[in-house]
Structure 1
Amino acid sequence: MTSIRRRTWPTPSGEEKTAWQVDYRDAAGKRRSKQFARKKDAEAWLTTAAYQVQQGTHTPDSQSITIAKAAELWIKRGERENLEASTLAAYGQHVRLHIVPMCGDKKLSQINRPMAEGWRDQLMEKLSRPMAMRVLRSLSAIISEAQSRGYVAQNVVAGVKVRRAKREKTKVVIPTKAELKAVIETAKASAEPMAHPLALILIFAGLRASELRGLPWRCIDLKAATVTVDQRADLKNVIGPPKSEAGYRTIPLPSSAIAALKVWKLACPASEAGLVFPSLAKKAMSHQYMNINVMGAVQLAAGLAEPVLGDDAKPKLDKEQRPVIAQRYTLHDFRHAAASLWIEQRVNPKKVQRWMGHSSIQVTFDTYGHLFDQADQDAAVAAAIERELNETTASAPGTAGAGQ
């Protein structure tokens, strides 16, 4: 039984107040009520609520919680499940910087599809498309967690999407062969003895930075000339397994890398975890130190540097008014270099996927599809040139009798 009735009551100051109260029964048959300032709002709400009760998707406000509270529950669940520190940090930023300021005070039961679409639009206006997608996914995951706990009957954000824009897809940054050669030569002459083997494994094996930081000597087979990945160091330098099953893999190494590793093994400081590239404290090296102090220093010495630009697009200056210079490439850029070298050598896509540790062949094609296309085109050009030369030779006067 549902009804809308007018309520009137006096305030302490003697002023008369009026509101419209909706009385209804929820899916469990329990009597509920909700109050509105205008009759038309009460009627509109009752129409929606009655349909939700019939469909079993209605949650009374009194049984619901705010998005901010739901976000706390979601983060705590991630902590209990021991998610990666970097993953939890990213989720925390999504919640703290974007979700709570935008809609944290809203109760889950009050969210509707138009409201969710509006939040999507707000995120698109403030953030880059990839970041907006990530924050929206976090918001949807927050509501799904609350739904599983019974705080809301449906997740209206689940169907709200940020469409991918192919024209905005950024191509991977890949150092040129000349730059790779300069890095290897500079690393070999570096005063830092680990720089040379580190550069060679980066360029020829394509390991992730976390995998390099957690790489133990037991995973280097100097006889078979391979490196195996079965662990990594997370954001807090804690050693653990790869993030996915695809992370477990074995990759071939060239003789130059094996030779450099043999030399480095004799000089490498012993560490409790038997790491190939330990920190000064003989623990897992931080990402920043490996990226800037080791490979960054090599790049600066090799001349692979760029001025750092400020918000005004002008070069930043240090205290002595000199331009601030930074390395040109990140550790991940050298990972891309390894993939490009394999593809150029006609390594089949499935093997590239396996060596890169990608979870699916689609990830490989999404990232390096243009390189595979280019390799196919190059091979077709070479074959066409060879065919034309053969045809020209066969049809030249006197060719048939040559050598007779």
Structure 2
Amino acid sequence: MSVRKRTWTGHGVQKEAWIVTYFDIKGVKRQKTFARKREADAFASKTDTEVREGVHIADRESVSVKTAGELWIATGEGEGLERSTLDQRRRHLRFHIEAFIGETFISKLSVPAVREFEDRLRAEGRSSVMIKKVLVSLGGILADAMERGLATRNSVRDIRRSRKGRHRRQEKRQKGRLEVGVDIPTRDEIRALLGALEGNWRPLLLTVVFTGMRSSELRGLRWQDVDFQRGEINIRQRVDQYREVGPPKSEAGSRTIPVPPLVTNTLKELKLKQGNKPGLVFPNPDGDSRSHSNVVRKGLQPAMVRAGVTIDTGKPDKNGNPILKAKYTGLHALRHFYASWLINRKEDGGLSLPAKMVQERLGHASIVMTMDVYGHLFPRSDDGKELEQAANTLFSAT
């Protein structure tokens, strides 16, 4: 590593520059020119450390963040990622990443550079949730660039590791649990909802309550997937937000869900009403799959309001009466209720199923996911009475 001064005369004016000469991690001789000595010295010091650590990438062998992002999207297309996932990648790249660091070389994305990018996003009004999502995308770009030999360091991953231990306890304290009556409808609220269901929305929402199906699975359900004799619904496909049909979300998403007679009898009535036509169980009037927003806005939320499962918006109508809206505004609330129904003790009106079976019914890819979301709902077996009985048994045996 050397730093030398070069002088020359151009158009009658004497000029000077500072040249840093070094060998990269591949043994290739490199040169970089700077206008000021302090810039050359800073580069030389930084590069010397990177070469010794084996993480240096010369600018000529690097690409801009924008180019690396486009390669990352191409990788996703080649892997067959869902259209919605690819669209999210494009939005993050175009509206959040390119605007600030699009022309920056991947090799220049050090930890301080990523931290500065994060601060700029926050200063420009991005929410904490959006910043987190964008950083995940930037980490994906860097990971893809590393696989292509365009980068040797993923600074986003380095930041995440450094923060993990520091914030572990804080995150644990702040991490909210799903609460019955807040995130999960109560049994009384579900009873009220079921009593308020009407028309073609009744069989659809009834099915969600007693199967916990995801919205995409519900909208992709076919009559051939309903086994009336066994009282089962087979999840074999889903319809995404673009109404494209595909396999379930994961391998675990392909599953069989037993349903009570209330559901099978209601679906039989719906099938007779449709004229025993094959195809989707819950199509729109044109026979195509419904959109998620249609199910929520025209099906779930009005039913919640009719059932009296509402909250006050804080705004009066023209007559001065409070305007009420649905307390639970998404289908996932019904999925949460289904999970709690599977978990709750039989004496509390639940099925008291073990965690592994709950995972299978919900179609979670991992038992860890099930326990992270619903673990606190499982009944405790170490209450005072049982502890007293165990202690008495222990001492009577000695």
Q: TM-score, structure 2 length as denominator?
A: 0.83
Tell me whether 1:186 sits opposite 2:196 in the alignment.
yes
Matches within 5 A, 1:223-302: 223-268=229-274, 274-302=279-307
SS at match of 2:284: coil
Q: Determine whether 1:175 maps to 2:185.
A: yes
CA 1:86/1:382 → structure 2, altered by over 3 Å: closer, same or farther?
Answer: farther
How far apart, in 1, do the equivalents of 2:189 and 2:14 lie?
Answer: 80
Separation (CA, whole Å) in 1 of partners of 2:260 and 2:290: 25
* Inter-partner Cα distance in structure 2 for 1:39 and 1:3: 12
- 1-structure distance, mates of 2:23, 2:31: 8
Supply the AA of the counterpart residue of 2:6. Answer: R
Is the counterpart of residue 102 in structure 1 residue 134 in structure 2? no
d(CA) in 2 for partners of 1:180, 1:384 = 34
What is residue 400 of structure 1 aligned with on the other side?
A: none
1:90 is the counterpart of 2:73 = no
In the alignment, structure 1 residue 376 sits paired with structure 2 residue 375:
no
TM superposition shift of 1:10: 5.8
Cα distance change, pair 214–271 in 1 and its aligned pair in 2 (3 A): farther
Deviation at 1:306, TM superposition (A): 3.8
Q: Tell me the equivalent position of 2:394.
A: none
CA displacement at 1:90 relative to structure 2: 2.3
Secondary structure of 1:35's counterpart equals strand
Residues 230 and 140 of structure 1: CA distance in aligned 2, closer, same or farther (over 3 Å): same
Number of residue pairs the alignment of both structures matches: 370
Q: Secondary structure at the match of 1:105?
A: coil
Question: Structure 1 residues 7, 225: CA separation in 2 closer, same or farther (over 3 Å shift)?
Answer: same
Q: Which residue of 2 aligns with 1:366?
A: 372
Q: What CA distance in whole angstroms lies between the structure 1 residues aligned with 2:72 and 2:128?
A: 24
SS in structure 2 of the partner of residue 20 of structure 1: strand
Q: 5+ unaligned residues in a row in structure 1: which ranges?
A: 309-313, 388-404
Aligned residue number for residue 332 of structure 2: 332
Deviation at 1:184, TM superposition (A): 0.9
Tell me the equivalent position of 2:393. none
Deviates more, 1:23-32 or 1:144-153: 23-32
Secondary structure of 1:146's match? helix
1:286 to 1:324, Cα distance in 2 relative to 1, 3 A: farther
Letter in 2 for 1:253: V
TM-score of the superposed pair, with normalisation by structure 1: 0.82
In the alignment, what sits opposite 1:7? 6
Alpha carbon RMSD of aligned pairs, Å? Answer: 3.0
Q: Which string of whole-angstrom CA distances, capped at 9 and with x for unpartnered residues, describes residues 68-125 of structure 1? A: 2211111222223321122122222322332223322211111222223443455577
What is the SS of the residue equivalent to 2:6? strand
Cα offset, 1:332, TM superposition: 0.7
Q: Which amino acid aligns with 1:332?
A: H
Check conservation: 1:271, 1:278, Cα contact below 8 A.
no
How far apart are residue 140 of structure 1 and its match? Answer: 1.0
SS in 2 for 1:175: coil
- Give the equivalent residue in structure 2 for 1:149: 148
Partner of 1:47: 45
Residues 27-48 of structure 1: per-residue CA shift (max 9 Å, x gap) = 3443321122332332232133
Q: Distance in 2 between matches of 1:315 and 1:104?
A: 44
Mean Cα displacement is larger for which, 195-204 or 164-173? Answer: 164-173
1:160 aligns to what SS in structure 2?
helix
For residues 128 and 337 of structure 1, do their structure 2 counterparts lie closer, same or farther at Cα, with a shift above 3 Å needed?
A: farther
Structure 2: which amino acid aligns with 1:169?
Answer: K
Which deviations, in whole Å up to 9, do the C-alpha atoms of 1:337-365 show, x marking residues without a partner? 10011111321111111111111111111
Partner of 1:159, secondary structure, is helix
- Over 3 Å counting, the alpha-carbon distance change for 1:326 and 1:159 in structure 2 is same
Distance 2:98 2:85 in 1: 18
SS at match of 2:157: coil
| Match of residue 160 from structure 1 | 159
Structure 2: segments with no counterpart, 5+ residues: 345-349, 390-398
| SS across alignment from 1:158 | helix
Cα separation, partners in 2 of 1:224 and 1:235, compared to 1, 3 Å:
same
Give how far 1:321 is off. 10
| Paired residue type of 2:99 | P
Aligned counterparts of 2:312 and 2:82: Cα–Cα separation in 1:
33
